[in-house]
Structure 1
Amino acid sequence: MATDKEGINADLLRQDRSKATLKPISACCDIPELGDAKPLSECSNPKLPGPCKDVQCAFEKSGFLTDNLTLKKEVYKKHLRQWAKNHDGWSDAVEKAISDCVDKDLRQYLDIPCKAYDVFTCTGIAMLKKCPDAAWKC
Structure 2
Amino acid sequence: MFRLLTSVTLFVLSVNGDFLTQERTRGATLKPISACCDIPELGEQKYLTECSNPKLPGPCNDVQCVFEKSGFLVDKHTLNKEVYRAHLRQWLEGHKGWEDAIEKAIKDCVDKDLRQYLDYPCRAYDVFTCTGIAMLKKCPKDAWKC
Same fold (TM over 0.5): yes
Q: What's the TM-score bracket when you normalise by the shorter of the two chains? A: 0.7 to 0.9
Aligned-partner Cα distance in 1 for 2:64–2:119: 15
Measured against aligned partners, the alpha-carbon deviations of 1:41-85 in whole angstroms (never above 9, x if no partner) come to: 110100101110000000000000010000000100000011111
Match of 1:69 among 60, 77, 85: 77
Q: Which residue of 1 aligns with 2:19?
A: none
Structure 2 counterpart of 1:48: 56
Structure 1: segments with no counterpart, 5+ residues: 1-15
**Of the candidates 113, 119, 136, which is equivalent to residue 111 of structure 1?**
119
Secondary structure, in 3 states, of the residue corresponding to 1:125? helix
Aligned pair partner of 1:83 in 71, 88, 91: 91
1:65–1:71 CA contact under 8 A, matched in 2: yes
* Residues 17 and 71 of structure 1, relative CA distance in 2, 3 Å threshold: farther
Query: CA shift at 1:21, angstroms?
Result: 1.5
- State the alpha-carbon separation in 1 of the partners of residues 30 and 104 from structure 2: 25
> Whose Rg is larger?
2
State the AA in 2 paired with 1:122. Answer: C
Query: SS state of the match for residue 95, structure 1?
Result: helix
1:60 aligns with 2:48: no
**In the alignment, what sits opposite 1:21?**
29
Does the CA contact (< 8 Å) of 1:85 and 1:91 recur in 2?
Answer: no
Distance 1:72 1:137, change over 3 A: same
- TM-score, length of structure 1 as denominator length: 0.86
- CA 1:29–1:56 in 2, change beyond 3 Å: closer, same or farther? same
1:22 deviates by 1.4
Alpha-carbon RMSD:
1.1
Task: Report the CA distance between 1:17 and its aligned residue.
Answer: 6.9
> Which secondary structure state, in structure 2, belongs to the residue aligned with residue 50 of structure 1?
coil
Q: Deviations over 1:16-38 (max 9, x none)?
A: 87332111000000000000011
Q: Which has the higher helix share?
A: 2
The corresponding residue for 1:100 is: 108
